[in-house]
Copies of this chain bind each other. A is one copy, B any other.
Amino acid sequence: MGRIVHITRRERFSAAHKLWRNDWSDDQNFDTFGKCANPNWHGHNYELFVTVKGPVNPETGFVADLKEIGDLLKSKVISKLDHKNVNLDVPFMAGKLTSTENIALAIWDEIVSDMNGLGCTLHCIKIVETENNYIEYYGD
């Protein structure tokens, strides 16, 4: 078997969201979520980094075909999130708090089994929300 290499693909999506619980009072929401609870939403240019790992295929020199990974991410993730409202428009976020943590977990669940079909294993979902904060999930 080949040596194990990690490969990362970046995609981007621009989306609106707010942090808000309907079962809480307005005050509870503002106390907990601060300006992220603005009732009329706010938004971000999110960066998504998807890392997979696997042995290098000696036929191609690839761990996996980056174009196939990109196509999968576009059809299952980016087309659902880009230029959308994460709270209202995204099936895999329905009923969830739209924290960056929860978006990362949901993207993991959406694609983890598909990656096996591409000959590699999902290793990390990283989402950069602003230049000052990002989230990583490694499947733990």
How many residues of chain A get a CB closer than 8 Å to chain B's CBs? 60
Report yes or no: A43 in contact with B40, Cβ–Cβ below 8 A.
Answer: no
Residue pair A9, B133 in contact (C-beta under 8 Å) = yes
**Mostly helix, strand, loop or mixed at chain A's interface?**
mixed
A94 within 8 A of partner (CB): no
Do A105 and B44 have beta carbons less than 8 Å apart? no
- Given the known inter-chain contacts A132-B9, A133-B66, A136-B6, please indicate yes or no for A43 contacting B14, CB distance below 8 A: yes
Return the chain B residue nearest A65 by Cβ.
Answer: B32
CB-based contact A40/B97 at 8 Å = no
Given contacts A36-B83, A133-B10, are A41 and B62 in contact (CB under 8 A)? Answer: no
